[in-house]
Structure 1
């Protein structure tokens, strides 16, 4: 009797463990009973179910990265090779609706929506714009257009990143030459600006020297020259060294001995 009870307990515990689904962080689980998805969404924990009539469908609610390689059309009709990353996540409370309406193949739906949105947006821009500061505008426009279709389905687009853009060889060379010419022009403009500033500095310096000399010349009256001469004689008289002073009575000329 005791053995039977022990065996029954082990079987019961094993059966209970087999009926528990573990939902890890970043996941959401939905119970499907007799083929019908329930609306209750479980996150981070265990979900008990009857394996004979039910199962648990798990989906990631983290931000996922969908990598694509495709050709994008440009306004001038060129084909631009590109590497694209689409960052998306599923809205947690809409996972049952996503599984009912789209199924677990929603990455293919995201890809299809992206291709349509990218074609519409990129056709409004020149190929060179995809390789310049306009890239951020193109990415944001594609994201907004995708949101119009996918957000109401429960798929949130976090970002569209154009990681790599390969322009046609001839166009790429032309853009590089243009950028080099612009850099050379900016460098020359800087040099000319520096030369101009240096010339202005020299003019200001020369003007200041001229004005100082003019002011000094205007201030040297006979009376001031006489006073300065007397001051010079006084300083010479204080010296103990022998000196020969030649003067006309106005200004001294000193000869050291």
Structure 2
């Protein structure tokens, strides 16, 4: 019988993949990989602010991740290159977060858990937050699915259909902020983008429709979580990186049929 902490870890990871699967598909389609990475880096500033003010860490990371997305959208609207704006804001937020933590005694050791993740330390309360956050992200994406797809394929077509592409970008920004807040304790800020991108990228090969790609991304994410936990247990390796390494192996396998063909 698996230990309770392993069951909680598996449930936490599976809950996360329900959100990262379909959202990761949009990240891949829209080539927003750097955006997800930048939002995750900014979460460290949210962790520092939450620890300094005794607020829940989830609240701090959600607020900063959302502020990051809105700031990038505002800078892009003023003519700044999106990748430049992301680079400036992401590294600035990460640096400020690390500086802020240096002023908090006894917190530095805790920070590594948020950088690299500690899925094996997930509590029952964390599970409630993770599954609630995943359900909210799923509901948000399901509600805007067709509009998001149309805006992703062709913004001019979206406008002609009465869809505001800026609003759909805001929906994705909010969803990404929620995922970062949910995932920061599981796989860590440095690995969140990998869980968004790798399963979705692996899902491209066997998929014949957008819905199928979202579904395969969830499946591959779930296999990554379960396989990574098994690898961590067997080899005594860090759980978060083991999950991402398993996802990378699944991605490598997904390339084989295409190369053979």
The TM tier, using the shorter chain, reads under 0.3
TM-score (norm 2): 0.22
Give the structure, 1 or 2, with the largest relative contact order (CA under 8 Å, sep 6 or more).
2
TM-score (norm 1): 0.23
Whose radius of gyration is greater, 1 or 2? Answer: 1
